[in-house]
Amino acid sequence: MITLRLLRSFRGLLDRRQPEFLVFAVTAGCSARCPFCFYASRVASAGREQELDIGEIEKISLRCGRIPYLLLSGGEPVLRDDLDRLIGLFIENSGAAYVTVPSNGLQPERTEKLFAGLVARHPSVHFRAAFSVDFPDARHDDARGVPGCLDGVVECALRIGRLRDRTPNLTMEAVSIYAPWNASVMPELREWVRTAIRPDNHELHLLRADWPSVLAEGLDSKAFLSELEQFRLHGRRAESRPLSPFFRSLNDAYAGCLGHLLSGAFCFPCRAGERIVTLDETGRVRLCEPREDVLGDLREEGYDLKRVLGSERARRIVCGMQRDRCRCTWECAVSTNIVFTPGMYPRLAAGTLRHALSRRKGRE
């Protein structure tokens, strides 16, 4: 059923104003205070009254075309009381087939209730619950700026893990940030997450550098790449996600490109503002997460995303970004760029076949 949802989205591939991936910061409100968060200034001054309401979001979902991949961010997405309805609008009106909700783990009951309802109401959609964890002990609470954060992650993982084990359309991810303050604990963290969280995938992301830098101060790119390889080798387990072999091949390709990107090399044109679009909680359409460029405001453009993307302002920003051969290591953008770069297809195809064979033999 999820394949049919994806097939219905293929006609959008010919329209450069039709994004395939929407990153929607649904709220700037957050129950944690992570000093390294790229959204920290928004979180600190969050005004919930400025957020798009559910009526406005329904209009957006009706006018944005078919968007198969939806990632909800913030802030802490689970804090929105209407999050399940919001997600349902993009599933019903925009054809969302994969929905990812990252969380800091501080709302176990709300999180379990959210996903239990979603997987039951939308069996043809695959959901991913992603939990942030950066230390295997109390240092995680210090890093996240709030006591009890690690306990919350463990409780969330227990609840969502039980749901995942009896539900075919749900996977659970752990995401760790590689930063100067925790680089030395990666092996310990990886083993702790494997036994205490039991995620389908444990991903390692670089601490976000201030654009246009690609590497944050104090980090060793070679050490990061070495750790990333260990996460790829030991941070995966068998999962139920449809097209899992393809997505794992895409993750491998992303990891393979990182060394070039970190060295300053240009690997492929960026599709930000076209195939991947970032929307904030007030309706502003941004080029991407690392940069501050605003393509337009949905409240001023009749909640029509394609109108914003086709505007003179948006085209000028996107063309300038591509002309300057912009590059970064933002996981979502790089993965999207790989999907829309034909030169990467042989690598993707070979990796997909390899993972499919491993899955068939029971190794994934």
List domains and CATH numbers for the chain. 2-360 (3.20.20.70)
CB-count burial class (<10 Å; 0-12, 13-18, 19+) for 356? middle
- b/e 122-131 (16+ beta carbons within 10 angstroms → b): beebbbbbbb
Q: What is the C-alpha to C-alpha distance for residues 307 and 290, in angstroms, rounded to an integer?
A: 23
User: In which element (H, E) is residue 7 found?
Assistant: helix 2-8
Strand 21-25's sheet: what is its strand order? 201-206, 170-178, 126-132, 98-103, 69-73, 21-25, 276-279, 284-286, 294-297
Tokens of 70: 């939806």
Kind of pairing between the strands at 201-206 and 170-178: parallel
pLDDT of residue 364: 61
Q: What is the C-alpha to C-alpha distance for residues 362 and 117, in angstroms, rounded to an integer?
A: 30
Residue given tokens 């075919």 in the structure block: 168
Tokens of 26: 């649904």
pLDDT of residue 1: 61
CB-CB contact of 177 with 132 (8 Å) = yes
Q: What is the C-alpha to C-alpha distance for residues 46 and 59, in angstroms, rounded to an integer?
A: 23
Query: Helix, strand, or coil here: 297?
Result: strand
| Ordered alpha helix ranges (H), 182-311 | 186-196, 221-234, 244-262, 305-309
Which residues of the chain have a pLDDT value below 50?
Answer: none
| Ordered alpha helix ranges (H), the chain | 2-8, 40-44, 54-63, 83-94, 108-121, 139-144, 149-165, 186-196, 221-234, 244-262, 305-309, 312-323, 331-339, 345-360
Residue given tokens 């942030």 in the structure block: 132
Beta-carbon contacts of residue 164 (< 8 Å; ≥ 6 apart):
129, 170, 171, 172, 200, 240
Q: What is the C-alpha to C-alpha distance for residues 357 and 355, in angstroms, rounded to an integer?
A: 5
User: In which element (H, E) is residue 30 found?
Assistant: none
CB-CB contact of 31 with 107 (8 Å) = yes
One-letter amino acid at 191 equals E
CB atoms within 10 A of CB 345: 12
Q: Which of 276, 330, 273, 319 is nearest to 296 (CA)?
A: 273
Tokens of 202: 């444990």
